[in-house]
Amino acid sequence: MDEKNTVRTSKMLSRILRHDPASVGIALDEAGWVRVDELLAALARHHRRLSRADLEHVVETNNKRRFAFSADGGSIRASQGHSVEVDLGLAAAVPPAVLYHGTATRSLDAIFRDGLLPMSRRDVHLSADTETAVRVGSRHGRPAVLVVDAAAMAAAGHEFRVSANGVWLTDAVAPRYLSRAAG
């Protein structure tokens, strides 16, 4: 599978496994899993044939590690970013003192007024490094990186979880825990 098809397939899987499983006639279980054979059959019924080898290639080469196979390899799910109701079963974790969030500069006024909200997703997504935050912010326009005082949030009782691909998740981030990164 060439790079263009890999990216296209990854985007399609993201849409299905995070937001719209019904579009191909599947249902995710309560933890977001679907049997691989069920997914591949559903895709074929919708004229989107994908082999097991191609699916494995997409999962293995996705630079954001958006997908994970179950321990037995029989099921697949998105690692985070769902708008549909799922419980990924992620335990609470102690975050690093500082986390980062990438956004577009045009969103800064609203964020500093209202905080970071999950919007159409289940959680706010944060990263442990500024490079990732810049990449995320660049997808939405001119990037801005926000610094999240995760230590203060955790001390105040806010819960953090970390997904299989290293994305930190929390319910929301109030404006008082935010500042703009220099640069």
Q: Does 72 share its domain with 109?
A: no
Q: Which residues of 19-51 are buried (b: 16+ CB within 10 A; e: fewer)?
A: bebeebebebeeebbbebebbbebbeeeeeebe
Query: What CATH number has the domain bearing residue 43?
Result: 1.10.10.970
Asked whether the predicted pLDDT for residue 80 surpasses 90, the reply is: no
The pLDDT value recorded for residue 183 is 66
Count the domains in the chain: 2
**For range 96-122, the mean pLDDT:** 94
> What pLDDT does 182 receive?
83
For residue 20, the enclosing domain spans 3-78
In a domain, 173, yes or no: yes
Same-domain pairing of 163 and 109: yes
Residue 112 resides in a domain: yes
Instruction: Report residue 159's pLDDT band, with 50, 70 and 90 as the boundaries.
Output: very high
180: nearest Cα among 137, 139, 117: 137
Q: Specify the pLDDT at position 120.
A: 82
Question: What percent of the chain is predicted at pLDDT more than 90?
Answer: 83
Give the containing element (helix H, strand E) for 12.
helix 3-14
Both 127 and 164 in one domain: the answer is yes
Please count the other Cβ atoms lying within 10 Å of the Cβ belonging to residue 139.
10
Please indicate, yes or no, whether residues 73 and 103 belong to a single structural domain of this protein.
Answer: no
Do both 8 and 74 map to the same domain? yes
Q: Which of 96-100, 114-118, 164-168 shows the lowest per-residue confidence on average (mean pLDDT)? A: 164-168
